[in-house]
Amino acid sequence: MSFHTIEQAPARLNRSELAVPGSAPQMFEKAAQSEADVIFLDLEDAVAPDDKAQARKNIIKALNEIDWGKKTMSVRINGLDTHYMYRDVVDVVEQAGARLDLIMIPKVGTAADVYAVDMMVTQIEDAKGYKKRIGFEHIIETALGMQNVSEIAAASKRNESLHFGVADYAASTRARTTIIGGVNPDYAVLTDPLDDATRAVHWGDMWHYALARMVVAARANGLRPVDGPFGDFSDPEGYKAAAKRAAVLGCEGKWAIHPSQIAMANEVMSPSEKEVTRARRILDAMAEAASQGKGAVSLDGRLIDYASIRQAEVLVEKARQIAGA
């Protein structure tokens, strides 16, 4: 390991993150009863300009009055380039900061964006005498944000997670998309003709580079990487495939833009019984090996060593976290 220690963000379950428009208070109670690990009440893109002020009021009331149980509560503020953002922060943190766990910053572009919000939140928390510190989640969804993702990830002690905002990212990079978070048949490899002249088309994942880059920046700074929206909520198989790809790369969670996506995110982002059992067997086998002075042994015909311990511990720790939730 490097001599540089990576401080980890507070451990929170973040398998599913439900988006709820602040302008739709009729959805709040159902969201509170849901199985989502995290809820973000939205002031940004799901809310029309004329509804922003009322949405802010709805969110403040809801944070103070609804029983959200043990859920992690977040509010997505408007971007720093708008004139809504300062009032989002001031009103929501002043009037409902006690129940707010996280602020989600959309379209973050530079470390200075994070610094600016940190400064505002710090002043409000100090003025109000809040003991609990509000954390930050950042949506990486512009070319600028992706270019500066490492600096953004390191920009504040409040940082907890990075989210891949595929819809705005596509707009910013001028990518050719079909549906939000979906795949494009033009992003494919056409194989050379085989002996019988047949050729195959292999669809690729056009989001791979962006997501993988964000995962690295998040993990190098002790943050949770979380995959963003999948727009077609009538395509559960498409959603699960996208969630699995994100999980394989190291993401801890995925957004749910519809309640039906919550259970799928929770399932895909939880280690399976089989994986946890195997991880426990690896830990037992390595403990046994260590007692015999060995560093590497074979289990079920495969090599395991100290790196296997670290991988197994991640799974066992996650299972413990889920069991304790």
* Residue pair 16/38 in contact by the 8 Å Cβ criterion: yes
Among 17, 101, 141, 227, binds ligand GLV (CB under 6 A): 141
Size of the site for ligand GLV (CB under 6 A): 9
In whole angstroms, give the CA distance from residue 41 to residue 21: 6
Q: Residue 138: beta bridge partners?
A: 105, 162
Q: Is 271 one of the binding residues for ligand GLV (CB under 6 A)? A: no
CB neighbours of residue 87 within 10 Å: 16
Q: Indicate the residue among 121 and 167 with the shorter CB distance to Mg ion.
A: 167
Q: Is 168 one of the binding residues for Mg ion (CB under 5 A)? A: yes
Q: Is 165 one of the binding residues for Mg ion (CB under 5 A)? A: yes
In whole angstroms, give the CA distance from residue 260 to residue 265: 9
> Which stretch, 67-75, 92-100, 166-174, 297-305, contacts ligand GLV (CB under 6 A)?
166-174
Residue 166 binding partner per list Mg ion, ligand GLV, none, with a CB distance cut-off of 5 to 8 Å that depends on partner kind: ligand GLV
Q: Is 206 one of the binding residues for ligand GLV (CB under 6 A)? A: no
Q: How far apart are the first and last CA of the chain?
A: 31
β 302-304/297-299 pair status: antiparallel
- Write the interaction track for ligand GLV spanning residues 71-110; mark x where CB under 6 A is met and - where it is not: -----------------------------------x----
DSSP per-residue string spanning 69-107: TT-EEEEEPPPTTSSSHHHHHHHHHHHHTTT--EEEETT
> Which stretch, 109-117, 166-174, 230-238, 287-295, contacts Mg ion (CB under 5 A)?
166-174
- Site residues (CB under 6 A) for ligand GLV? 106, 139, 141, 165-168, 228-229
- Site residues (CB under 5 A) for Mg ion? 141, 165, 168
